[in-house]
Amino acid sequence: MEILVTYDVATDSGEGQRRLRRVAKVCEAYGQRVQKSVFECLVSMAELELLRHRLEQEISIKEDSLRIYRLREPRERYLQVLGRRLEFDLHDPLIV
């Protein structure tokens, strides 16, 4: 399934800045960054649960906000982009 992960981490402290980096690293392991705090991911149900668990371990429930949206598929049919478009295919292999 294709999902969208968005987050807003409070960065007014050093710990908040570290949380922000850790959240981004977790998301990078599952998908592609499309904006500063937005990732498009292609995951199975098991991977989604693992991703959610890992993110819960990194954020502060009292200070941060994290949202996971399931995208309608096929994504290309429902996606509208204004401005700079990052070109990649979630279904292609990701080479790091």
| C-alpha span between 16 and 39 (Å, rounded) | 19
Predicted local distance difference test score (pLDDT) of residue 80: 78
Which among 62, 65, 66 has a CA at the least distance from the CA of 52? Answer: 66
Determine the average pLDDT of the residues in 77-86. 74
The mean pLDDT of the chain is 88
pLDDT digits (tens, 9 = 90+) for 20-52: 999 999 999 999 999 999 999 999 999 999 999
Determine the average pLDDT of the residues in 59-87. 83
For the structural domain made of 2-78, what CATH number should be given?
Answer: 3.30.70.240
Predicted local distance difference test score (pLDDT) of residue 18: 97
Determine the average pLDDT of the residues in 68-91. 74
